[in-house]
């Protein structure tokens, strides 16, 4: 797989039915290894190991109901009261982070109403903080440590 702009970690990969699978320690199971999943696993490990995010308050592939369609948020971080605080959207490293990607995560936020929106393709990472009182958002220079949330 590709080198990313994220620290490496002890990757667990197996081959099942001819397909490579990677262990997702959040879901506690092996999942198909795609370029997007490669980014997700690196990013989640980085959040836990470097940024202090509790793995027990994170969930991958969170299903939400958006109008009449079901969507899946790539990763959602919760607070200790289990209120969603952050949505993370991953893209393959060869996918540019565009306005369309931000539009996608913003649609998910119509349902979850989180404070932080994060987008990463493993090479470039963006985080914005939503200010509901003012009706705007601010891009942050870095993704905050869990203690700063």
Locate the domains of the chain by residue range. Answer: 53-148
pLDDT of residue 19: 95
Answer whether residue 114 shows pLDDT above 80: yes
What does DSSP assign to residue 107? H
Q: Is 41 exposed, middle or buried (0-12, 13-18, 19+ CB in 10 A)?
A: buried
Residues 23-77: pLDDT tens digits?
A: 999 999 999 999 999 999 999 999 999 999 999 999 999 999 988 999 999 999 9
> What is the bridge-based pairing of β-strands 84-90 and 116-120?
parallel
Residues 2-30: pLDDT tens digits?
A: 889 999 999 999 999 999 999 999 999 99
DSSP string, 16-70: ETTEEEEEETTTTEEEE--HHHHHHHHHHHHHHHTT---GGGEEEEEEEEETTEE
Tokens at residue 113, please? 């109403």
Answer whether residue 1 shows pLDDT above 90: no
- Kindly indicate the confidence band of residue 140, based on its pLDDT and cuts at 50, 70 and 90: very high
Residues 77-91: pLDDT tens digits?
A: 999 999 999 999 999
pLDDT of residue 79: 95
CATH code for the part of the protein at 53-148: 3.90.1570.30
């Amino acid at each position: 797989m590709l080198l990313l702009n994220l620290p490496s970690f002890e990757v667990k990969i197996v081959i099942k039915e001819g397909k490579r699978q990677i262990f997702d320690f959040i879901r506690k199971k092996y999942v198909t290894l795609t370029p997007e999943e490669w980014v997700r696993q690196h990013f989640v490990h980085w959040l836990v190991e470097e940024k202090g995010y509790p793995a027990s308050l994170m969930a991958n592939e969170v299903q939400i109901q958006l109008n009449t369609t079901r969507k899946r948020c790539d990763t959602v971080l919760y607070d200790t009261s289990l209120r969603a605080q952050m949505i993370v959207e991953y893209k393959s490293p060869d996918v540019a982070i565009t306005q369309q990607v931000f539009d996608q995560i913003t649609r998910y936020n119509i349902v979850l109403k989180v404070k932080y929106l994060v987008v990463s393709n493993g090479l470039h990472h963006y985080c914005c903080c939503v200010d509901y009182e003012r009706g705007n958002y601010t891009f942050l220079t870095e993704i905050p440590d869990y203690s700063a949330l």
